Amino acid sequence: MLAGVNDSIETAHILGKLLQNRSVHVNLIPYNTTDVGAQFHSPSPEDIRAFHAVLRDPYNLKATIRENHGTDIDGACGQLALKSKPDGSGVQRDIEDLGPRRTKSPRKNKNPSSSDSEISDVSPVGASTAGSWLDRANAFIDDHQQTIALALFSASVAVLAIGLARRGRAHAN
């Protein structure tokens, strides 16, 4: 759940109406807030409980509020991130950026005695040239995190609705 994005009572009613009379279990998982440039935050415990109450009472849905563990040490799911790059630049990156990335080179022949190795380059993640497509993609994602999250959430709700509709038609036949 994201504060101000999908934690409103209105959203709870929309979800409740969508899932009402279905055999489902809703897990309410608060976002684990990080300080890695994200503009998202976890809803307050009160907001999560209110959302939960709407799903339970008027819609009679099974719902569980998931507890976060490890947030006090930034060790909860999604929080394992560096505070700054090892070079001291202060740029925050994911923990995966620490290690080398191995890239495969295209094989010209399948002769195992060939001098071509399967792994041709070992370079640090993020060591791409300035202006590369990866740099541009990362910049785009950084600039549009909230829009991307909303689109992904909306797509997941749509896929869920389509699946439930198909399931309902299958049971009706």
Domain ranges of the chain: 9-129, 130-173
Query: First CA to last CA across the chain, in angstroms?
Result: 36
Residue-level pLDDT at 131: 60
Look at 35 and 141; give whichever has higher pLDDT: 141
H or E stretch including 150? helix 145-172
Residue-level pLDDT at 158: 78
Task: Write the pLDDT tens digit of every residue in 107-164.
Answer: 545 454 444 444 444 444 444 455 677 788 778 888 888 888 888 888 788 777 777 7
Answer whether 125's CB lies under 8 Å from 99's CB: yes
3-class DSSP state for residue 83?
coil
Instruction: Quote the pTM value.
Output: 0.47
Residue-level pLDDT at 69: 61
C-alpha span between 9 and 50 (Å, rounded): 7
